[in-house]
């Protein structure tokens, strides 16, 4: 048997190993990681277990929970497909993707009471990192310090998706005028229709006859008018005068005069 036979045999063994990893190990690993993500999403309050099973989309949700823009996942995937054939640049794109993923994992770990050093475990053994966060007794706590990239339009998450909780540090665009909460341009209905709220510091003018005491427009606030004083507690109130006696009836004309 020549050296060529050994070379073909090695190639065949390598191809068999690749097919085994792709067809057997790959699906098993995907199922395990999806279960881990599903548990992490449940802790974070994400609605719908199916989100953890959709490729790419589950990574976008993980980025959102980590205060990172979910569109970075699509940008990284597109850059990898377009630039992978370029020397040097094609090697740097996966490293940049890994760095962005580590930043999101760092924030997710902090919200599950994990120290920043745990991100090292994510970089080298991400399945182990996901498994620990998925099944330990940690609880989701988004009330942590804002991310260092807060305010960066490219990195910060500024999207709002149904079923995915909005993080406290997330900068979501304010609602359109006319649909805000009461006190922010919204007028509650009244019996006379929708009345716009009065601006702060504005006092409506007093209507004639309805002003407060001492103010112009109130009957008791006119110049020269003094309200009657109530009698003091110990004053003696005189009794009412007796009514006058009724007049005497006229004399009967049929009676003879005396």
Do residues 197 and 189 make contact, with C-beta atoms less than 8 angstroms apart?
A: no
Q: Domain segments of the chain: what residues? A: 3-135
Q: In the predicted model, what is the mean pLDDT of the chain?
A: 78
The whole-model pTM stands at: 0.62
Q: What is the pLDDT of residues 80-125, one digit of tens each?
A: 999 888 888 888 999 999 999 999 999 999 999 999 999 999 999 9
Using the predicted structure, report yes or no on whether residue 190 has a pLDDT greater than 90.
no
Task: Please calculate the CA angle 41-47-53 and round it to the nearest 5 degrees.
Answer: 60
DSSP letter for each residue of 5-59: HHHHHHHHHHHHHHHHIIIIIHHHHHHHHHHHHHHHHHHHT-S-GGGGGSTTHHH
**What was the pLDDT predicted at 9?**
72
Instruction: Please classify residue 67 by burial: count the beta carbons closer than 10 Å to its beta carbon, then call 0-12 exposed, 13-18 middle and 19+ buried.
Output: buried
Q: What is the pLDDT of residues 128-176, one digit of tens each?
A: 999 999 999 999 999 999 999 999 999 999 999 999 999 887 665 554 5
């Amino acid at each position: 048997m020549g050296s060529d036979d050994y070379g073909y045999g090695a190639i065949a063994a390598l191809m068999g190993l690749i097919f085994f990893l792709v067809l057997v190990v790959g699906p098993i690993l995907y199922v395990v990681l999806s279960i881990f993500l599903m548990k992490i999403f449940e802790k974070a309050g994400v609605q719908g277990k199916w989100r953890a099973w959709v490729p790419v989309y589950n990574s976008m949700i993980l980025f959102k929970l980590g205060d990172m823009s979910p569109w970075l996942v699509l940008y990284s995937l597109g850059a990898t497909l377009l630039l992978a054939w370029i020397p040097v640049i094609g090697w740097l794109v996966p490293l940049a993707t890994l760095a962005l993923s580590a930043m999101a994992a760092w924030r997710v770990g902090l919200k599950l009471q994990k120290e920043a050093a745990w991100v090292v475990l994510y970089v080298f053994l991400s399945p182990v990192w996901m498994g620990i966060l998925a099944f330990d007794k940690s609880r989701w706590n988004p009330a942590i310090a804002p991310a260092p990239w807060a305010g960066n339009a490219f990195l910060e998450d500024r999207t709002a998706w149904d079923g995915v909780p909005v993080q406290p540090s997330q900068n979501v665009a304010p609602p359109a005028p006319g649909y805000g909460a009461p006190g922010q341009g919204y007028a509650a209905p009244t019996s006379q229709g929708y009345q716009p709220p009065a601006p702060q510091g504005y006092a409506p003018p007093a209507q004639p006859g309805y002003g407060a005491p001492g103010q112009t427009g109130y009957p008791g606030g006119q110049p020269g008018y003094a309200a009657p004083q109530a009698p003091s507690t110990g004053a003696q109130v005189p009794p009412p005068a007796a009514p006058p006696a009724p007049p005497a009836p006229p004399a009967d004309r049929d009676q003879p005069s005396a």
